[in-house]
Amino acid sequence: MTQSHSATRTGDEEVRPGTDEEEYLVVRNDEEQYSIWRADRDLPAGWHPEGRRGTRQECLDHIDVVWTDMRPLSLRRRLAGADV
């Protein structure tokens, strides 16, 4: 897979992809797994905005705080049922 190195404009500034000036969203899927996604792009199927928006690092820092159990939701539910 190749990475695009094109620039986008925000106001009078040029923003390079992968820089801290880009705006990102924290997204979550139905398995309650988190990721970040560039705010200027459509979300892929199965992912939903979590509510946090910011720089790449701000979004990653937020994920570090809220994503405390890395197991997918379906596994957590299955394991919870096994305890009964």
Helix boundaries (H) for 1-84? 56-66, 73-82
Its pTM stands at 0.71
Q: How confident is the model at residue 21 (pLDDT cuts 50, 70, 90)?
A: confident
Residue 8 pLDDT exceeds 90: no
Contact 25, 55 (CB under 8 A): no
Residue 2 pLDDT exceeds 60: no
What is the CA 51 to chain-centroid distance, rounded? 10
The tokens for 75 are: 């596994």
The tokens for 61 are: 């820092």
Contact 53, 27 (CB under 8 A): no
